[in-house]
Amino acid sequence: MFIAGTALLWWNEGRAVKTEKMLDEAGSAYVEMENPNKKDASLEGELICGTAMATTEDSLSDTQFGIGAKAIAIRRKVEYYQWVEHVTETRKDKLGGSEEVKKEYTYTKEWVGSPIQSSQFKDPAYQNKNMVLTTVEDAEQYAENVSWGAYKLNERQIRSIHSNEGLDLAIAENLLKELDKATQTAYERFYGVQKNNQQPAAQQPTQQPAIPDSIRALLPDSVKAQLDSLQAVNDSINKSIENAENKKDLEYVHQAGNILYFGRVPGSSEVGDVRVTFEKVVPAKVTVMAVVDGDSFKAFKAKNGKRFERLVMGKKSGDEIIEAAQSENNMLLWALRILGIMIVIGGLKGIFGFLTTILKVVPFIAGIFGWGIGVVCTVIGIAWSLIIIALAWLFYRPLLGISLLVLAGFLVWVFAFKGKDKLKDLATKAKNKGAEPVPAPAESIQTPENV
């Protein structure tokens, strides 16, 4: 851990500096593309920034469910309702050097991305409690031809578009019936046969009494128009009732918007239920920052070898894209710095952890000594990390590197020497206090009067 943390800190500083220089170079090299809808030969090989609609004529389909759309991408996400095991661990040192470890297991029902094997659960009461009504894999499909004005987006740019919308489900009725039957078989195998709820009596079509033509001829035109309107409404209602009767209700497969649900009651999930969410990526306005390469694009390559290419949603300027990339670089820099320092400290604690283990014969002493080792390892780890960071930056920015070295040296001096001097001062004061003469009681003092 100590070596890995050190290597991570060194690599991270070099990565951050190279990325910053690359972004500075890109920020000063790009040109604005005023009209992406028309090819400009003068921009060939140039780093451009422009905004246009990303569109496609490709039709994508999910062959497993027989649905699709004309879209930039379609995605299928699957979730399973399962029992999930959670472990809480507590450790306690015992007199004599042994350690007592207690584990507490709790179980909750949650939606997860893959089935969980409950046969491995520690609590026998929850073993073999999980099942799934069906298994479906996550899937995604991207269009090959996506236009951006007069140009085409490359694969990396296409995958960066995230204008997601729900995909309309138009699954064939015979497929739904097959899925419902298979789901029912799986459900009854695990839960047993369920009694069907009694369905209400089907509504019967209503028949509007016909008016004889002889009487109809005597009626005013306004009344005839109202009668025709009522008859049209009645015919529409009867047609809807007939369609509802002809369509068989499915008990174990349900459609709701862009979600296909496997289970008896979508609003009251049971273990084993499965829900599949379908989405599509629709045409959207995007901003591209990349190098023109014929009728497509490629990444910008800086002098130090770092590459840069961006596709962002909506309309953005080149300066906004560069600033956002710099912010991302700084956030990643500090995240990896903190991670590297923690790994270094953890490695040092692991190296000197044997001292605490030796003293575990008496847990109270081991606890105090372990706390002291933790403090020492933290101080040394931070100082060591600052030294590594400073040495890495010396190759790129000597002034900042020297400042970090001075700070690290100050920490070491405070810990190694100033602390030692403080202990000496305390010891000297204690010794001098013990050597001071004790004043005699007032009654024992000899004066001329009491002599």
Give pLDDT tens digits for 178-206: 999 999 999 999 988 765 544 444 444 55
Query: Does the CA dihedral 42-44-48-52 come out positive or negative?
Result: positive
What pLDDT is recorded for position 245? Answer: 41
39, pLDDT greater than 70: yes
State CA 265 to chain mean position distance. 29
Do the domain assignments include residue 77?
yes
Give pLDDT, residue 94. Answer: 61
Distances (CA, A) of 419 to 368, 370, 409, 412: 19, 19, 14, 10
Residue 188: inside a domain: no
In this structure, the answer to whether residues 303 and 405 fall within a common structural domain is no
Q: Is residue 395 part of a domain?
A: yes
Interatomic CA distance for residues 440 and 320, integer angstroms = 83
Mean pLDDT of 281-297: 95
Residue 120 located in a structural domain: yes
**In this prediction, what percent of the chain has a pLDDT beyond 70?**
73
Domain of residue 311: give its range: 11-169+278-331
* Residues 32 and 163 both lie in one domain: yes
Write the burial class of residue 220 (CB in 10 Å: 0-12 exposed, 13-18 middle, 19+ buried).
Answer: exposed
Q: What are the Cα distances from residue 358, in Å, to 9, 94, 364, 366? A: 32, 13, 13, 8
Per DSSP, the three-state class of 308 is strand
Residue with tokens 């028949």: 207
The mean-pLDDT minimum among 13-22, 143-152, 246-255, 260-269 falls in: 246-255
Examine residue 27 and state whether it is found in any structural domain, yes or no. Answer: yes
Q: How many domains does the chain have?
A: 2
The dihedrals phi and psi of 92, each to the nearest 5 degrees, come to -140, 125
3-state secondary structure of 220: coil
Q: Which of 331, 350, 369 is the last residue of a domain?
A: 331
Tokens of 428: 């000297």
Q: Cα(142)–Cα(278) distance, rounded to whole angstroms?
A: 14
Asked if the structure places residue 352 within a domain, the reply is yes
- Give me the pLDDT at residue 277, please: 95
- On whether both 397 and 310 belong to a single domain, the answer is no
**DSSP code, position 372:** H
160 by Cβ neighbours in 10 Å (0-12 / 13-18 / 19+) ranks as middle
Determine the angle formed by the axes of helices 363-394 and 398-413, rounding to 10 degrees.
160
Question: Degrees (nearest 5) of the Cα angle 12, 13, 18?
Answer: 100
What's the pLDDT score for residue 202?
A: 44
Going from the C-alpha of 386 to that of each of 6, 246, 404, the distances in angstroms are 10, 76, 6
Pair 49, 156 in one domain:
yes
Residue 264 placed within a domain:
no
Domain match, 117 and 47 both:
yes
Answer yes or no: do 283 and 425 share one domain.
no
> What global pTM score does this model have?
0.69
Domain membership flag for residue 321: yes
Q: How far apart are alpha carbons 193 and 188 in whole angstroms?
A: 5
Same domain, 424 and 309: no
Last residue of a domain, which of 297, 313, 331? 331
Q: Are 269 and 263 spatial neighbours (Cβ–Cβ below 8 Å)? A: yes
Is residue 46 domain-shared with residue 158, that is, in the same domain?
yes
Give yes or no: residues 312 and 351 share one domain.
no
Instruction: Tell whether 55 and 156 lie within a shared domain.
Output: yes
Answer yes or no: are the C-beta atoms of 273 and 187 closer than 8 Å: no
Q: What is the mean pLDDT of residues 35-44?
A: 91
Same domain assignment for residues 321 and 346: no
| Parallel, antiparallel or unpaired: strands 31-32 and 47-56 | parallel
Q: ∠57-63-64 over CA atoms, to 5°?
A: 150
In our burial notation (b when 16+ CB lie closer than 10 A, e otherwise), range 97-131 reads: eeeeeeeeeebeeeeeeeebebeebeeeebeebbb
Report residue 9 CA to chain centroid gap: 25
Q: Is the pLDDT of residue 261 over 90?
A: yes
pLDDT, one tens digit per residue, over 298-354 is 999 999 899 999 999 999 999 999 999 999 999 999 999 999 999 999 999 888 877
Co-location of 319 and 344 in the same domain: no
Residues with Cβ within 8 Å of 56's Cβ and at least 6 positions away in sequence, in order, are 70, 71, 72, 143, 145, 146, 147, 283
